[in-house]
Amino acid sequence: MSECSAGERLWLVVPAAGRGRRMGAELPKQYLMLGGRPVLAHTLARLHQAFPQAKLCLCLDPDDVHFDPVWVPFAEWRRTPGGAERADSVRQALSALAGEARDEDLVLVHDVARPCVTLAALARLAAALREDPVGALLATPVADTMKRDDGRQRIARTESRDGLWQAQTPQGFRYGLLRRALHEAAVGDVGVTDEASAVEALGLSPRLVPGRRDNIKITHPEDLALAGHILAAQQGEPLVASDNPQEET
């Protein structure tokens, strides 16, 4: 079993069972190529650089014919079947770990479509998670002015952006808590688009860890080129130095 520090065990869950319809591409977005390698390979490589001893659970569509295990750098990993929604994919991955994972083990869930997450951000999140009994996620304060529409593509009102954050991944929680949160969300038919929402529904408040705006989720066609530029620009950066503007000022 992977030991990340004295007695600590870390699991990585990477939901990669989406079909990426918003990309409008023939291939699911995790298999689109970035600099000669698919998005999925970039994302797994980043996670492996940060957490080489972790165990990986990769959620894949059972009908996926594009996946190649050569892209997985982890010594210990397994494939688990994706579900109808992202939360179902993660829930099924956690179920697959039952009996092996302990309630207090740390679980980091990271979208396969976010290949640009930096090692420094991953280290910062892991450090926050170790100290927090609830859990933590990377997020960035909202920078743009926020408009609420009226359903007819006209502005109903301007929302205050004070205190608003955009949630990213990874999101990290203790195994037992996250499993219970996602189970209760499914039973209660609470729609959740990230792990934090499920934990919030239990009345808990996960910690917001400042991330970087370049940890984009490839979603729309133009995002692929943007991710390519970000990865190229990051090549010149120190791998693990602080990259958090809020820490540096």
Binding footprint of ligand C5P on the chain (CB under 6 A)? 15-18, 30, 59, 82-86, 89, 111-113, 217, 219
| Position 244, amino acid | N
Nearer CB in complex with ligand C5P: 4/81: 81
For residues 201, 115, 89, 54, the Cα torsion angle rounded to the nearest 10 degrees is: -90
Rounded Cα distance, 141 and 158, in Å: 17
Task: Give least dist CB 217 to ligand C5P, A.
Answer: 6
CB atoms within 10 A of CB 242: 14
Nearer CB in complex with ligand C5P: 114/124: 114
What percentage of the chain's residues is helix, strand, coil (to nearest 5)? 35, 25, 45
Shortest CA distance to 102 belongs to which of 182, 11, 199? 11
Nearer CB in complex with ligand C5P: 15/135: 15
Task: Give least dist CB 5 to ligand C5P, A.
Answer: 28
Task: Give least dist CB 242 to ligand C5P, A.
Answer: 27
Q: Is 142 helix (H, G, I), strand (E, B) or coil?
A: coil
Task: Give least dist CB 186 to ligand C5P, A.
Answer: 13
Rounded Cα distance, 24 and 221, in Å: 7
Q: Is 99 exposed, middle or buried (0-12, 13-18, 19+ CB in 10 A)?
A: exposed
For residues 161, 162, 167, 173, the Cα torsion angle rounded to the nearest 10 degrees is: -160
Nearer CB in complex with ligand C5P: 43/248: 43
Task: Give least dist CB 244 to ligand C5P, A.
Answer: 24
DSSP strand pairing (146-149 vs 165-174): unpaired
Nearer CB in complex with ligand C5P: 105/111: 111
Output the six-digit token pair for 86: 């992202």
Nearer CB in complex with ligand C5P: 89/140: 89
Q: Which residues pair with 210 in a beta bridge?
A: 139
